[in-house]
Amino acid sequence: MSCIDQIGHQINLETTPKRIISVVPSQTELLFDLGLENEVVGITKFCIHPKKWFETKTRIGGTKTLNIEKIKQLKPDLIIANKEENTKEQIEKLQKLFPVWTSNIRNLSESLEMIKQVGKMTNTEKKSIEIITKIEDDFSYLSSLKKQPKSVLYFIWKNPYMSVGTTTFINDIMKRVGFINTLETKENYPILTEEQITEINPPLILLSSEPYPFKEKHLAGFKNLCPSANVILVDGEMFSWYGSRLTKTVHYLVDLYAKIN
């Protein structure tokens, strides 16, 4: 099988892969939900779902610090990566050694295409279509709801404060639930000073649980910067994981929207 990934790279698979390495947490969870228990031989230290894989599968480093030697030892016949979450240098090095399929996801439509392609490569098309159909139905329901638009500043990091731009997957998910990004920049993850945050003064601030683990103790700092803002902790996986986690996203978003109102 010959296929082209989402960065335009062509890979050739002689047979259905039997030794798969995933170097992206949300795509690792997808492989589990596709039923590839025996085929997945390696994951990263950030692939926390499912828990049993996190505890038993061989870990091959972090998403941006892959252990190339350990990957070589596992002799994968397919590596599934992501343009944003992995480093270009390491992916190019792996491409010379193994078939590497890389996703590039900035919106829901690209995430569904990724799920479809992974299903095709791993001979789990039936299950992948079931997952896609569930996601499409859920988001169709979400789009049918009457939503009052809310201006939002979404944070993924502290020291420095880092938000999200309009071309990110997170922004696409926010938009679908009725959240309007106060930042109109096309820069993926702009850094903001405290002065800029105060000047923007959004009515709603969302603090993600990942990659920076915002907690209750961080709420007061943002309230000091924007006293009139409603500051809320949110589950970052529901906004940024673009695999099968999307089957749970809409239920979470509907509950979050109701809570905010």
Share of the chain above pLDDT 90, in %: 96
Residue bearing tokens 């998910």: 173
Strand order in the sheet with 40-43: 58-59, 40-43, 20-22, 78-82, 100-103
Residue 1 has pLDDT above 90, yes or no: no
Mean confidence (pLDDT) of the chain: 97
Per DSSP, the three-state class of 238 is helix
Domain residue limits, the chain: 2-138, 150-260
Omega of the bond leading into 227 within 30 degrees of 0 (cis) = no
Would 2-138 and 150-260 be classified into the same CATH topology? yes
Which conformational region is residue 243 in: left (phi greater than 0), alpha (psi within -120 to 50 degrees), or beta? beta
The CATH number given to 2-138 is: 3.40.50.1980
Residue 261 has pLDDT above 90, yes or no: no
Strands 2-4 and 10-12: antiparallel
- 63: Cβ–Cβ under 8 A, 6 or more apart, which residues? 23, 24, 25, 44, 46, 82, 85, 86
- Taking the C-alpha atoms of residue 92 and residue 97, their distance in angstroms, rounded to an integer, is 9
- Taking the C-alpha atoms of residue 154 and residue 164, their distance in angstroms, rounded to an integer, is 6
Fold classified for 150-260: Rossmann fold (3.40.50)
| Per-residue pLDDT tens over the stretch 27-69 | 999 999 999 999 999 999 999 999 999 999 999 999 999 999 9
What does each C-alpha distance from 229 to 153, 175, 225, 261 come to in angstroms? 10, 19, 9, 13
- The structure tokens listed for 103 are 């996703």
| Per-residue pLDDT tens over the stretch 77-92 | 999 999 999 999 999 9
The pLDDT of 136-154, averaged and rounded, is: 93
The pLDDT of 159-171, averaged and rounded, is: 97
- The structure tokens listed for 8 are 């335009």
The pLDDT of 148-158, averaged and rounded, is: 95
Confidence of residue 156 (pLDDT cuts 50, 70, 90): very high
